[in-house]
């Protein structure tokens, strides 16, 4: 599909591409079927909206964005596995590209910011609960569409990612390439920079470190 998607972007055709099986979460089919670099590569393609929603609310928001954008194609990367509805997700938030889904900090000064997309946003939220129980002020940000976030005002970006907060962690079941834009020099990315493997989803996510426990440990590293 890559060549066709590129032509639609070049032609300013508002095609809506609905893609599924977006990570190693599809399990036993193995590395030949498991996307790794796909998200990063489409984020690099001009005039494309790469959307990776985390639940039903965000999927509805992503489709709304796609319908309204008639001069550029949209890719909706959907997961195979079952996912819960997240309390802080919203249709309106998706239109901003990145937004806060939960935060127990005051005055826009969290101790650490956890960023995630798609199926890993749930993991970030679980990690945040653990860290908050240990007394930390934690913000969780859904980065459903980088392109839309980049179109927001500097004031809005600062309200989501305050420059004064250097402790940041991203979690995404794909290549970590590109996340440094939002992580800064101190932040750390939890992701996959090799091809996948054939095993049940639970085993794969644990082996590749895509767990709340690993995100908590990584957050403690950037907080140190």
Pseudo-torsion of CA 4, 180, 118, 71, nearest 10°?
A: -40
CB atoms near residue 11 (< 10 Å): 13
Contact predicate 111/167, CB 8 Å: yes
Set out the domains of the chain in order of their start, with CATH numbers: 1-223 (3.40.50.920)
pLDDT less than 70: residues of the chain? none
pTM: 0.96
How much is the pLDDT for 121?
98
Q: Which of 20, 19, 118, 6 shows the shortest CA–CA distance to 73? A: 6
pLDDT of residue 126: 98
pLDDT at 37: 97
- For residue 117, the number of C-alpha atoms closer than 13 Å in the C-beta half-sphere is 29
Cβ-contact 160, 56 below 8 angstroms: no
> What's the pLDDT at 217?
98
Select from 26, 85, 101, 92 the least CA-distant residue to 62: 92
Q: What is the pLDDT of residue 125?
A: 98
User: What pLDDT does 26 receive?
Assistant: 86
Per-residue pLDDT at 187: 98
Q: What percent of the chain has pLDDT over 70?
A: 100
Res 29: pLDDT: 86
At 87, list the tokens.
Answer: 């309390």
Residue ranges in 54-142 assigned as alpha helix (H): 56-68, 91-94, 121-133
Dist. CA 13–CA 184, nearest whole Å: 34
Structure confidence at residue 23 (pLDDT)? 94
Pair type for strands 138-142 and 99-103? antiparallel
| All residues at 6 or more sequence positions from 165 whose CB lies less than 8 Å from its CB, including other chains | 109, 110, 111, 112, 113, 139
């Amino acid at each position: 599909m890559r060549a066709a998607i590129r032509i639609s972007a070049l032609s300013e055709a508002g095609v809506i591409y609905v893609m599924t099986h977006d990570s190693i979460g599809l399990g036993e089919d193995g590395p030949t079927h498991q996307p790794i670099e796909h998200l990063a590569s489409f984020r690099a393609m001009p005039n494309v909206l790469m959307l990776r929603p985390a639940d039903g609310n965000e999927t509805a928001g992503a489709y709304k964005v796609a319908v309204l954008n008639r001069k550029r194609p949209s890719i909706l990367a959907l997961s195979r596995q079952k996912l819960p509805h997240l309390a802080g997700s919203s249709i309106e938030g998706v239109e901003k590209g990145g937004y806060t889904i939960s935060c127990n900090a005051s005055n826009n000064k969290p101790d650490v910011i956890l960023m995630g997309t798609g199926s890993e946003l749930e993991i970030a939220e679980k990690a945040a609960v653990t860290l908050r129980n240990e007394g930390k002020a934690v913000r969780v940000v859904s980065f459903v569409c980088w392109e839309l976030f980049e179109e927001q005002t500097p004031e809005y970006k600062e309200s989501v990612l305050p420059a004064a907060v250097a402790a940041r962690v991203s979690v995404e079941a794909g290549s970590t390439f590109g996340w440094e834009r939002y992580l800064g020099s101190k932040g750390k990315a939890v992701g996959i920079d090799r091809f996948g493997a054939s095993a049940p989803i639970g085993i794969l996510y644990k082996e590749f470190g895509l767990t709340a426990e690993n995100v908590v440990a990584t957050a403690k590293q950037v907080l140190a």
